[in-house]
């Protein structure tokens, strides 16, 4: 056990410091401090020495250099069990420092408030991060408190252990210190490498939430991130691992639509989706697309949920609903199920990169932000799609982009009427989509088809035509594109190319 006799305090945020100071004063710990922190301590009525009185050197360059001095870092880094270190400490009259309390300049917070680079750069902490690393390195002798998040743990040592820390305590705090410093440096690096000119993958998420379990009950699950930036939970049980995976897919999908739209997802794929001028009709059409798969699904819409729509939704058992807002009566109605998760979506732009762990590393890629419009497509058949078909083709292409490959989507009147998801062949995906539509008695005459990738043979358009499909949208790019085009031309079908494949694995 080591007793704290002296402390260096240099913090940006002063809140929460008062109780610590009271305990340090009670334990007769000598305090050394800097600038605004020193002024705060004196204002509260406690004694302290300035760093300048130790170093005999003023704070210079507008406060950029205050603690960076051998008399400070020597007091932290000297080894108490090393005779030469102790001798040099005495020779240069350096005061020993047993406790270091730091709270860094808020670099990440500054990024959210301004794009002014001069302001951002000034919030890169130099002295503070150096103090943290020095004290953490010498954890055998020094206790480091790297942020206000550790104040409660420090208070426990000061109160219950009467200012004495064990080696285990100090090593635990040192681990927290390197967590703080590595996260801080990662944020700074990513700011300077926004264009990814340096091909290095660095990510640091401090906020972790333990989930009930992972994908399956025998797997541990933790979410690192901030859900509150994406949505507010208004009702229901804790969100699970699988819920989060589905929500990620649902939010990205529903953001693509501007008309009143309802989507029903299961295992990240849309099993029902429709747009209409009235949200209640959009819900009715979405549910009709696959009322069996909708059971226990995740619902997402892009408009306020009104009471009439809520009455219809409430007839179905579902896990989650997310919407931008809810009418008061609609919300109360939906709350009738205790465990039902109700989320209010916030405006949020997803990152420009995605990543996943594979083998012994990570795969990183740019996000698929391309969503083709009418101006992006090329008609490659003699027959052109009608205005209505063109609207449906664009609609279907959005859905297929968000569907697991191999994927085929069938749409009619802005309603998903059939989808084939995650199949090992494109023909199988199409057959699954047709079977879905037929099983729910949805008429495919005049429907359109979207494919996430090109057709290697003409068999898919032949099967689609036999089912009633008359317009097709696909990326193109097969060496046998001409076979599909020729079939369409001979059977009064229209086909358009987008030039962009949308695989999703």
Q: What is the pLDDT of residues 478-497, one digit of tens each?
A: 999 999 999 999 999 999 99
pLDDT exceeds 90 at position 207: no
pLDDT exceeds 90 at position 352: no
pLDDT digits (tens, 9 = 90+) for 49-102: 999 999 988 888 888 888 899 999 999 999 999 999 999 999 999 999 999 999
Mean predicted confidence (pLDDT) in 334-353: 93
pLDDT digits (tens, 9 = 90+) for 143-185: 999 999 999 999 999 999 999 999 999 999 999 999 999 999 9
pTM of the model: 0.86
- Which is more confident, 446 or 349? 446
pLDDT exceeds 90 at position 7: yes
pLDDT exceeds 90 at position 268: yes
Mean predicted confidence (pLDDT) in 270-276: 97
pLDDT exceeds 90 at position 30: yes
**Picking from 93-97, 133-137, 346-350, which range would have the lowest pLDDT averaged per residue?**
346-350
How many residues would you count in the chain?
505
Percentage, residues of the chain above pLDDT 70: 100
Confidence (pLDDT) at 189 = 96
Mean predicted confidence (pLDDT) in 242-253: 97
pLDDT exceeds 90 at position 460: yes
pLDDT digits (tens, 9 = 90+) for 383-435: 999 999 999 999 999 999 999 999 999 999 999 999 999 999 999 999 999 99
Report the alpha-carbon distance of residue 102 to residue 231 in Å, rounded.
33
Confidence (pLDDT) at 441 = 95
Question: Per-residue DSSP letters for 438-494?
Answer: HHTT---TT-EEEESS--SSTHHHHHHHHHT--EEEE----TTHHHHHHHHHHTT-E
For residue 377, CA distances in Å to 119, 385, 429, 443 come to 45, 11, 23, 26
Mean predicted confidence (pLDDT) in 353-371: 92
Mean predicted confidence (pLDDT) in 459-475: 97
CB 212 within 8 A of CB 224: no
Percentage, residues of the chain above pLDDT 90: 91
Catalytic residue among 5, 179, 267, 431: 267
267 is catalytic: yes
Confidence (pLDDT) at 503 = 96
pLDDT exceeds 90 at position 119: yes
Confidence (pLDDT) at 59 = 84
Split at pLDDT 50, 70, 90, the class of 192 is: very high
229 is catalytic: no
Confidence (pLDDT) at 353 = 87
Provide the CA 329 distance to its chain's centre, in angstroms: 31
Measured at the CA of 287, the angle between CA 283 and CA 289, to 5 degrees, comes to 125
Strand partners, 33: 9, 50
Confidence (pLDDT) at 437 = 96
Radius of gyration of the chain (CA): 31
CB 219 within 8 A of CB 210: no
pLDDT exceeds 90 at position 261: yes
Catalytic residue among 5, 14, 49, 137: 137
Confidence (pLDDT) at 285 = 98
- Which is more confident, 35 or 181? 181
> How many CA atoms does the CB half-sphere of 359 hold within 13 Å?
3
Confidence (pLDDT) at 58 = 87
């Amino acid at each position: 056990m080591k007793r704290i006799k002296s402390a260096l305090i240099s913090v940006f945020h002063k809140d929460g410091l008062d109780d610590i100071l009271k305990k340090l004063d009670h334990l007769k710990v000598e305090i050394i401090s800097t600038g605004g922190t020193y002024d705060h301590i004196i204002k509260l009525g406690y004694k302290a020495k300035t760093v300048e009185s130790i170093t005999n050197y003023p704070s210079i360059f507008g406060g950029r250099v205050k603690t960076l001095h051998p008399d400070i870092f020597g007091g932290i880094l000297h080894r108490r069990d090393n005779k030469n270190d102790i001798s040099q400490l005495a020779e240069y009259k350096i005061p020993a420092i047993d406790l270091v309390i730091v709270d860094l300049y808020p670099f990440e917070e500054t990024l959210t408030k301004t794009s002014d680079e001069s302001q951002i750069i000034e919030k890169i902490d130099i002295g503070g991060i150096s103090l943290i690393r020095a004290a953490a390195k010498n954890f055998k002798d020094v206790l480091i408190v790297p942020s206000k998040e550790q104040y409660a743990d420090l208070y426990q040592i000061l109160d219950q252990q009467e200012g004495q820390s064990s080696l285990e305590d100090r090593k635990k705090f040192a681990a927290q210190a390197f967590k703080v410093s590595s996260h801080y440096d990662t944020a700074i690096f990513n700011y300077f490498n926004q264009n990814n000119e340096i091909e290095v993958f660095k990510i640091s998420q401090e906020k972790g939430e333990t989930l009930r379990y992972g994908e399956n009950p025998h797997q541990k699950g933790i979410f690192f991130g901030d859900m509150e930036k994406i949505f507010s939970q208004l009702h229901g049980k804790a969100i699970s691992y699988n819920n989060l995976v589905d929500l990620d897919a649902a939010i990205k999908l529903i953001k693509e639509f501007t008309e009143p739209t309802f989507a029903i997802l299961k295992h990240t794929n849309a099993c029902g989706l429709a747009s209409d001028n009235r949200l209640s009709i959009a819900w009715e059409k979405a549910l009709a697309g696959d009322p069996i798969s909708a059971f226990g699904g995740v619902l997402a819409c892009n408009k306020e949920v009104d009471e009439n729509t809520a009455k219809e939704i409430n007839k179905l058992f579902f896990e989650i609903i997310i919407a931008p807002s809810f009418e008061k009566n609609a919300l109360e109605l939906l709350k009738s199920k205790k465990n039902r998760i109700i989320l209010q979506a916030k405006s949020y732009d997803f990152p420009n990169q995605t990543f996943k762990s594979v083998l012994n590393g990570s795969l990183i890629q740019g996000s698929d932000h391309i969503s083709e419009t009418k101006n992006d497509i090329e008609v490659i058949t003699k027959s052109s799609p009608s205005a209505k078909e063109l609207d449906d083709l664009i609609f279907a292409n959005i859905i297929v982009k968000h569907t697991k490959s191999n994927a085929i989507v069938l749409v009619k009147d802005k309603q998903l009427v059939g989808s084939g998801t995650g199949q090992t062949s494109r023909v199988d995906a199409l057959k699954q989509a047709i079977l879905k539509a037929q099983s729910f008695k949805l008429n495919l005459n005049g429907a359109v088809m979207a494919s996430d990738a090109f057709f290697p043979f003409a068999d898919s358009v032949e099967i689609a035509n036999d089912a009633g499909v008359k317009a097709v949208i696909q990326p193109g790019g097969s060496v046998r594109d001409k076979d599909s085009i020729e079939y369409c031309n001979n059977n009064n079908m229209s086909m358009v190319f987008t030039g962009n494949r949308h695989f999703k694995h």
